[in-house]
Chain A
Amino acid sequence: MNDVISESQRPRGLAIFHIDTPLLLGLLALMGFGLLVLYSASGQSQAMMQAQLIRLGLAFAVMVVFAQISPLTYKRWGLPVFLLGLLMLVAVLLVGEIGKGAQRWLNLGFVRFQPSELMKLAVPLAIAWFISNHNLPPKLWRLLLGFVMCVIPTLLIAKQPDLGTALLIATSGIMVLFLAGMSWRLIVFIGALVSSLLPVMWFFVMHDYQKRRVLTFLNPETDPLGSGYHIIQSKIAIGSGGLQGKGWLQGTQSQLEFLPERHTDFIFSVLSEEFGLVGVVLLISLYLFVIARCMLIAIRAQDSFSKLVAGSFTMTFFVYVFVNIGMVSGLLPVVGVPLPLVSFGGTSMVTLLAAFGILMSIATHKRILASS
């Protein structure tokens, strides 16, 4: 067994820089495809392409830096960062700045900052630290505490309101608990509990705009010019793309601006319209490849903490993809979640690549961990 480990630990290729080559190639392929689509979706805007390239470069740098840091460090800093993040979330609700109708930003004087982005990393790190301190599967009270650690930031973010991010953070926390071996009986029980709580959420927690989104999701055609417009136009874009698509830069739904938010949340519709089912299959294959590679990293990881963190990040990444595509294709209600690595967008891209950096760190720091 030792032989196997040392065999797989021998640094190969980019691994000496703590870079996982297959994952890197997968990410680059996605980004390349994404840029191609964005060029069309932005209406061939040079400025937007430039901004996105700068952002990708920055995010890439963050990824490389995060990959250099040992998983041990992450394990050590998980909880403090989590607590700091919680404080900042509370601060956001009290003194935060409002952008696009939601209170998400914290002005630290020199930089505007979204604490919820920090929590995307901190929540799984902290919960994984908490759970992996003892044998798996965790005891019930540990699970409950872990659940509380996940619920508090989720509610704070949902309150901003930012349903999309809240959903992702809840997923990241719950995924840790699930991967840690939370019993199936408990899962079924919680499932039943949640479905019975849904009506309570509807009447006491959800904002009007969120309820409207759900209602239009259930039947978009009832309000074709109001909130159903987005979904209808998006489905028209996707459906009219057909098997082979209308061709790059030729999508009428997107080029003529029938499609809303075409360069951000609805960029998948642009891709579907211009590249057809062929493009969709290619994109999904790339995502599946990245997810599979990350899952492999998680499975091969040395210790439980690393496994849980890697698994959680992977599944969160998947949820990004699934929620976005489900949303624009009418399978899920409209929740503001970008298509990872493809949508035009700032902070979330950096956070996402930071998570991939941590995954690469886990993939490439095995020897050090084993020897410690």
Chain B
Amino acid sequence: MRRQREAIQDHAAEAQLFKRRALVAFSLVVLLFVIILFNMYHLQVRSYHEYQTRSEGNRIKVVPVAPNRGLIYDRNGILLAENTPVHSLEIIPEQVADLTKTLAELAELIEITPEQQQSFLQDVQRQRRFNSIALKEQLTEQEVAVLAVNQHRFPGVTLEARLSRTYPFGDLFTHSIGYIGRINSNDLQRLREQDLAANYAASRDIGKIGLERYYEQLLHGTVGYQEVEVNNRGRVIRTLRSDPAISGKDLILSLDVGLQLTAQQALEGLRGAVVALDPRTGAILAFYSNPGYDPNLFVHGISSANYNALLNSFDRPLINRVTQGIYPPASTIKPHMALIGLDQGIITPTSRIWDPGYYQLPNYSRRFRNWRRHGQGWVNVYGAIIQSNDTYFYDMAVRLGIDAISDSMKQFGFGQRTGIDIHEESAAIMPSRGWKRARFNQPWFPGDTVSLGIGQSYWTTTPLQLATSTAILVNRGDSVVPALLQGTRFQGEFEAKPYQRQPAVRIQDPQHWQVILDAMEQTVNTREGTAFRAFQGTSYSSGGKTGTAQIVSIAQDAKYDADALQEQHRDNAMYVGYAPAVDPTIVVAIVVENTGGGGSTAAPVARQLFDYYFSAGVNQ
């Protein structure tokens, strides 16, 4: 009994002990639950706004949307720069189980070069795992088809389509339209300085040279935004709000594809430049520098091999000869010179000089030769222009003096940029006393003035300057600013771009314009004229002036071998011309490097342009 009682007592005591401990444990449970609930209250009620904001920040991303770049058309609506879809093969490493295996399998379907593979693997190292990384760009249609069919085999491998700039005419418009390329750090910095960086948030490319660069802001358009919900891998689940991008404006150029092609054919195998413009407005009809190069190479990043080939080519295709080619104007400026002489009263339409075949400064022994060795005898201003008499202009230049020549020629735009709507333009050099002092720290010598009379010495011009200065002659003083852009089109609405003008050139007796234009017309129409042969039998009337520039090197640091040096010493052929002779609608300037006489080489190029211009009715 006693033992049993003890046992029961023990049992009761044990139950009591356990009950106490159990209650302690349960109190602990309650306490810890209270702590949890307090923490939850802290997170969900007191810090609600903070976490709410972070949750929104997690899921909502604002994604910029790139606008479509404006297209570029010629004057007849032919597409010169378009946006075509290109496909690239991209991989999201995170979603690929075995990258090496996937690459090997893809390589069985399409060609993947070791370089592409290597650069891809490098990008994989550098970028986040969930970013899409390009393995191969610019897939051919066949590659796209093969990959599309097999895509189910490759999770994480995607075909991305983008619009990419293409220039269907290749090298025909490179120097005018230019090209776009990837935005680099310099571009980015410039955009930041101009406060435009936000507008480029989604853009990959920017105009690098030519019109693409000059009219970048018109072409680019306005960036759009999409507010999207994304998951943890950044994949877009749905769009919450969107603010569409606004496409760039289309550019309508005054250039004519047919005229360009004519220029290209005429210059085939030659180095040179052709520019044609409408003297009434400055609208450029043809703008061609030969040789050109394919701008499409630059859009996706040119290979260094291709680039070095272009850079080191003897023909220097990268130079825009129309606006950056620096040439002595030679005899093409004789009409301008004569006009200044008439205006300053140095000569009259009938005054004559005796040409013995050379000119000699008083008290100097050096003889400045006429190109016609034995002289022309008595010669007046008409004869001097028609036959391009050097002696006449040596004499006149000396009598005008450097200051009068320099000041007047600057009114014709020499030594200054024309203001054409591309940035690649050189001012060339209209020498003066001050210029020579600054450049060579030397005084101006009378001998310098003599050869200025025939457009040599230090005087240089660009073909475009020759064209605009000739336009001033045919306009009888009115000065236009050359422009490639005719107008813009946005959502079907055409908006003409107003043409600009420079201050007109004023002379005392407007009759003198006619003297010069008559002489230029006779250069073409009379048997003695230097351009007579080139323009025989045209259905239209025209005027012009030939030029043959001695030994020339255009500004570029380049090495020449012996053979090249000789070629480089040959004369440049030049021609400026206009048509029709009365109320001209087209002015051209032609330079052909190192081929000899202007009449024999350059004038025929002008003839071909005029022929096409009138037969195709370009400017009507």
Stretch in contact with the other chain, from B43-51, B205-213, B426-434: B43-51
Given A181-B17, A237-B55, decide whether A257 and B233 contact each other with a Cβ distance below 8 A. Answer: yes
A240 touches B54 (CB 8 A): yes
B231 within 8 A of A: yes
Contacts of B39 in A (CB 8 A): 329-331
Contact with B along A154-198 (1 / 0, CB 8 A): 000000000000000000000100111100000000000000000
- Contacts A257-B231, A258-B59, A291-B29; A238 near B43 (Cβ below 8 A): yes
- Tell me if B196 is interfacial: C-beta within 8 Å of chain A: no
The answer for the CA separation of A4 and B39 in the assembled complex, in Å, is 42
Given A239-B43, A277-B45, A288-B33, decide whether A179 and B21 contact each other with a Cβ distance below 8 A. yes
When each residue 13-32 of chain B gets 1 if its CB lies under 8 Å from chain A and 0 otherwise, what string results?
A: 11101110110011001101
A137 at the A/B interface (Cβ < 8 Å)?
A: yes
Judge whether B515 is part of the interface by a CB distance below 8 angstroms. no
Within 8 A of B (CB), among A253-312: 253, 256-258, 272, 276-277, 280-281, 284, 287-288, 291-292, 295, 298-299, 303-304, 307-308, 311
CA distance A135 to B18 in the complex (A): 12
Q: Is A91 among interface residues, defined by CB-CB distance under 8 A?
A: no
Q: Find chain A residues with CB under 8 A from B149 CB.
A: none
Residue of A242, A304, A322 near B14 (CB, 8 A) is: A304
Does chain B have a CB within 8 A of A201?
no
Interface pair B55/A331, CB less than 8 Å apart: no
Report whether A299 and B45 are in contact in the complex, using a CB–CB cutoff of 8 Å. no
Alpha-carbon separation in the docked complex, A327 to B45 (Å): 19
The proximity string for B residues 224-244 relative to A, scoring 1 for CB distances below 8 Å and 0 otherwise, is: 000001111100010000000
- Name A residues whose Cβ lies closer than 8 Å to a Cβ of B: 135-137, 175, 178-181, 233, 235-243, 252-253, 256-258, 272, 276-277, 280-281, 284, 287-288, 291-292, 295, 298-299, 303-304, 307-308, 311, 314-315, 318, 322, 325-326, 329-331
Residue of A nearest to B37 (CB): A284
Q: Are A258 and B231 in contact (CB under 8 A)?
A: yes
Cβ of B131 to closest chain A Cβ, rounded Å: 14
- Structural contact, B14 and A240, CB atoms closer than 8 A: no
Contact check, A284 vs B36: say whether CB atoms are below 8 A apart.
yes
B50 lies within 8 A of A288 (CB) = no
Contact A242 B45 (CB under 8 A): yes
A329 with B40: CB separation less than 8 A: yes
**A256-B37 contact given A179-B22, A235-B43, A299-B22, CB 8 Å threshold:** no
The 3 closest A-B pairs by CB, nearest first: A239-B51, A240-B55, A256-B231
Q: List 19 A-B contacts (CB under 8 A).
A: A235-B51, A239-B47, A239-B48, A239-B50, A239-B52, A239-B55, A241-B44, A242-B52, A257-B232, A258-B59, A280-B44, A284-B36, A299-B22, A311-B18, A311-B21, A314-B25, A325-B36, A329-B39, A329-B40
Contacts of B30 in A (CB 8 A): 288
CB distance from A11 to the nearest CB of B (A): 22
Say if the beta carbon of B35 comes within 8 Å of chain A: yes
Whether A258 pairs with B58 at a CB distance below 8 angstroms is yes
What residues of chain B have their CB less than 8 Å away from a CB belonging to chain A?
A: 10-11, 13-15, 17-19, 21-22, 25-26, 29-30, 32-33, 35-37, 39-41, 43-45, 47-48, 50-52, 54-55, 58-59, 229-233, 237
Neighbouring A residues of B52 by C-beta, 8 Å? 239-240, 242
Contact present for A136 and B14 (CB under 8 Å): yes
| CB contact under 8 A between A136 and B18, given known A243-B45, A311-B25, A325-B36 | yes
List of B residues within 8 angstroms of A331 by Cβ: 35-36, 39
B49 nearest CB across to chain A (Å): 9
Indicate whether A236 sits within 8 Å of B37 (C-beta atoms), given known contacts A256-B230, A277-B45, A299-B19: no
Judge whether A277 and B58 touch: CB under 8 Å.
no
Q: Are A256 and B232 in contact (CB under 8 A)?
A: yes
Besides the known contacts A179-B18, A299-B18, 10 further A-B residue pairs in the complex with CB atoms under 8 A apart: A178-B21, A180-B21, A181-B18, A240-B54, A256-B58, A256-B232, A258-B58, A288-B29, A311-B21, A331-B39
Q: Which residue from chain B places its CB closest to the CB of A260 in the assembled complex?
A: B232
Complex Cα–Cα for A241 and B13 (A): 49
Q: A280-B37, A288-B33, A329-B39 are in contact. Are A315 and B47 (CB under 8 A)?
A: no
Please report the C-alpha to C-alpha distance between residue A372 and residue B163 in the assembled complex, in whole angstroms. Answer: 88
- Please tell me if the beta carbons of B48 and A242 are within 8 angstroms of each other in the complex: yes
Pick the contact of B58: A252, A287, A303, A330 (CB < 8 A): A252
- B41 partner residues in chain A, CB cutoff 8 A: 277
Tell me the minimal C-beta distance from A143 to chain B in angstroms: 14
- Distance (whole angstroms) from the CB of A299 to the closest CB of chain B: 5
Q: Provided the pairs A280-B37, A329-B40 are in contact, do residues A236 and B55 lie with their beta carbons within 8 angstroms? A: yes
CB neighbours of B51 from chain A (8 A)? 235-236, 238-240
Within the complex, the shortest CB–CB distance from B26 to chain A, in Å, comes to: 5
B40 near A277 with CB under 8 A, answer yes
Determine if A136 and B44 form an interchain contact, defined as CB atoms under 8 angstroms apart.
Answer: no
Nearest CB to that of A137 among chain B residues? B17
Q: Across the two chains, which residue of chain B brings its CB closest to A181?
A: B17
User: Which residues of chain A have C-beta atoms less than 8 A from B233's C-beta?
Assistant: 257
Question: Residues of A contacting B26 with CB < 8 Å?
Answer: 291-292, 295
| Interchain CA distance A193-B39 in the complex, whole Å | 29
Residue of A nearest to B32 (CB): A322
Q: How long is the Cα–Cα vector from A298 to B26 in the complex, in angstroms? A: 11
- Residue from B15, B40, B45, B48 having most chain A Cβ neighbours under 10 A: B40
For residue B22, give the distance in angstroms from its CB to the closest CB of chain A: 5
A165 and B78 CA atoms in complex are apart in Å by: 76
CA distance A304 to B19 in the complex (A): 11
Given the complex, which residues of A lie within 8 Å of B40, measured CB to CB?
238, 272, 277, 280, 329
B33 contacts A295, C-beta separation under 8 Å: no
Residue A175 contacts which of B25, B48, B54 (CB distance < 8 angstroms)?
A: B25
- Which residue of the partner chain, among A256, A276, A287, contacts B59 with CB atoms under 8 Å? A256
Q: Which residues of B contact A238 (CB under 8 A)?
A: 40, 43-44, 51
A318 to B32, CA, bound (A): 10
- Complex Cα spacing A323 to B19, Å: 25
Shortest CB-to-CB span from A174 to chain B, Å, is: 11
> Which residues from A are CB-within-8-Å of B232?
256-258
Please indicate the chain B residues that have their CB under 8 angstroms from the CB of A315 in the complex.
25, 29
Considering the chains assembled together, what is the distance between the CA atoms of A136 and B11 in angstroms? 9
Using CB atoms, name the residue of chain B closest to A239.
Answer: B51
Q: Report the minimum CB–CB distance from A17 to chain B (whole Å).
A: 26
Task: Give the shortest distance, in Å, between A142 (CB) and chain B (any CB).
Answer: 14
How long is the Cα–Cα vector from A179 to B18 in the complex, in angstroms? 6
Q: How far is the CA of A240 from the CA of B45 in the complex (A)?
A: 9
The verdict on A135 contacting B29 (CB below 8 Å), with A178-B21, A256-B237, A277-B41 known, is no
Partner of B44 from A180, A276, A291, A298 at Cβ < 8 Å:
A276
Cβ of A63 to closest chain B Cβ, rounded Å: 22
User: Roughly how many angstroms separate A109 CA and B232 CA in the complex, as a whole number?
Assistant: 41
Inter-subunit contact A281/B10 (CB<8 Å): no
Say how far A85's CB is from chain B's closest CB, in angstroms.
25
Shortest distance from the beta carbon of A196 to any chain B beta carbon, whole Å: 23
Contacts A242-B44, A311-B22; is A252 near B36 (CB within 8 Å)? no
Please determine whether A181 and B58 come into contact, CB atoms closer than 8 angstroms: no
- Chain B nearest CB, measured from A251 CB (Å): 9
- Nearest opposing residue in chain B for A298, CB measure: B22
Measured in the bound complex, the distance between the Cα atoms of B17 and A178 in whole Å is: 11
Distance in Å: Cβ of B46 to nearest Cβ of chain A: 9
Question: CB-CB < 8 A to B15: which residues of A?
Answer: 299, 307
Given the contacts A235-B51, A242-B45, A318-B29, A252 and B18 also touching, CB distance less than 8 Å:
no
Tell me the complex Cα distance, A322–B40, Å: 13
Closest A residue to B12 by beta carbon equals: A1
Closest to B41 in A: A277
8 Å CB contact of B33 from A179, A252, A284, A311 = A284
Q: Which residues of A lie under 8 Å from residue B44 when comparing CB positions?
A: 238-239, 241-243, 272, 276-277, 280
Bound-state CA distance A315–B51 (Å) is 33
Contacts of B47 in A (CB 8 A): 239
| Shortest CB distance A254–B (Å) | 10
A241–B59 Cα distance when bound, in Å, is 14
B15 nearest in chain A by CB position:
A307
A62–B15 alpha-carbon span in the complex (Å) = 30
